[in-house]
Amino acid sequence: MTVATELTERESVLLDSIPTGLLIGGVWREAASGKTFDVEDPSTGQVLLTLADAGPVDGAAALDAAVAAQDEWAATAPRVRAEILRRAFDMVIARADDFALLMTLEMGKPLAEARGEVTYGAEFLRWFSEEAVRTNGRYASNPEGTARILVQKKPVGPCLLITPWNFPLAMATRKIAPAIAAGCTMVLKPANLTPLTSQLFAQVMLDAGLPAGVLNVISTTTAGEVTGPLIQDTRLRKLSFTGSTPVGRRLLADASQNVLRTSMELGGNAPFLVFEDADLDAAVDGAMAAKLRNMGEACTAANRFLVHESIAEEFATKFAAKMGAMTTGRGTDPATKVGPLIDAKSRDKVHSLVTDALADGARVVVGGAPVDGPGYFYQPTVLQGVEPGARILTEEIFGPVAPIVTFKNEDEAVALANDTEYGLVAYVFTQDYARGLRMADRIETGMMGLNAGVISNAAAPFGGVKQSGLGREGSLEGIEEYQYTQYIGFPNPHNV
């Protein structure tokens, strides 16, 4: 593996174009404290850019701007909101190479994968531009015929959006687009590990015609100090968070004080089930997609591979051969298939999960160690002989490691799949579609891929059950998260 340590001219020019301030009321400005923080390239540890570091004063100013803009934005015609989103879609697609390169620099994913995220993330802008004009209510008679029922959908009001570091564009567009479509103003707090994409995207939204104060962006290294007062402010009406379950629990407790509307997309522990009748090559291809997307740093990543005992050896051999052939390196290298993990802490956690599993009797089929040299790389890894209950089966791995557990029959497979506090997504490979539909009924999950390793789509409702969260993002359900229902009753006009 070779990793370049100097930025290319193309990379330097792109970084020089990124706003480095806080976006408050349509203006990029320094933090009130004057504090800044560095954003690093995880493949080298090199500083990419230095941004303004928001404090509580800046957070309050951002919410003030959102509140000031809310009434006028809510009264803006849906078609106007839709056209802004559509222009933003066109502008993101026109700058796809810039967005892809920026994500690769700050997050590490290979350029080809980053381009895929641009396509996926931009689609939320197009999808919700089409939904903005379809937020319909209804008009009906009451059962007694004495009155009429008028129902309308209204924007919930100012929102706090907290996004994670692993999908810098898609996690922003998945929240911002429906909020804009519904008529809500926002304060966005991106992850401080990967805020650059949000900075560029916010400028694109301004260039697309989004009025000042509708979207405010406050990057910070002291998230609790900045967002805590916002959540306690009675003017805030909604909190949308994507991140870990422990943090989500704390935010839900805080949000309960003002009974905030909440959307929580939390942790996952996705089972990947391979039955004895599965198309094995398709299952291996699906496993590669479900495991290595984003280097395994995704809540939807397959975390536990549950394979029927009759095919476990063959599956492991084929899977390990493909995993072992993956080239690790800086995402800008065309040969790279697996980029770095986000930081040293993440890499160390992944390795501790592997070493714990090995100490409990698991064996390495391929990989099993960090990659020597600069950056935070980890070898694509397959483990066999992992015992049920092992730590690696109960915690999110968030890295390119695949532990394999065997099962004897369908009931045991279901029991293993459901043996977790999480329920975001599951993957099932079988050529028996009746069995596949039984798995959808029996596995406790908000989403399921049937003979598919990647199922995310802007037109599909994304979200989980149990401790994987509340609410849905994307699809028809996505815009409803930013609306409340108002009922107006009045006498039957024919009885006047």
In the block, tokens 């997307």 appear at 293
Closest CA to 413 of 400, 401, 429, 402: 429
Strand partners, 441: none
49: helix, coil or strand? Answer: strand
In the block, tokens 């995310």 appear at 456
* Per-state percent for the chain, helix, strand, coil, to nearest 5: 40, 20, 35
Q: Which of 11, 40, 265, 297 is catalytic?
A: 265
Phi, psi of 338 (to 5 degrees): -130, 115
d(CA 163, CA 146): 48
265 annotated active-site: yes
Quote the tokens at residue 206.
């301004």
Cβ atoms within 10 A of the Cβ of 97, count?
Answer: 14
Q: Are 303 and 396 in contact (CB under 8 A)?
A: yes
Type and span of the H or E element at 456? none
Cβ atoms within 10 A of the Cβ of 317, count?
Answer: 14
Cβ atoms within 10 A of the Cβ of 1, count?
Answer: 17
d(CA 40, CA 374): 13
299 annotated active-site: yes
Please give the distance of CA 394 from its chain centroid, rounded to a whole number. Answer: 20
Sort residue 272 into left (φ over 0), alpha (ψ -120 to 50) or beta. Answer: beta
Closest CA to 290 of 386, 99, 429: 429
Q: Which of 131, 159, 184, 299 is catalytic?
A: 299
Quote the tokens at residue 246.
């422990």
In the block, tokens 């008679």 appear at 141
d(CA 375, CA 329): 9
Q: How far is CA 292 from CA 199, 414, 479, in A?
A: 27, 24, 30
Quote the tokens at residue 26.
């349509």
Task: Report, as residue numbers or ranges, the catalytic residues.
Answer: 265, 299
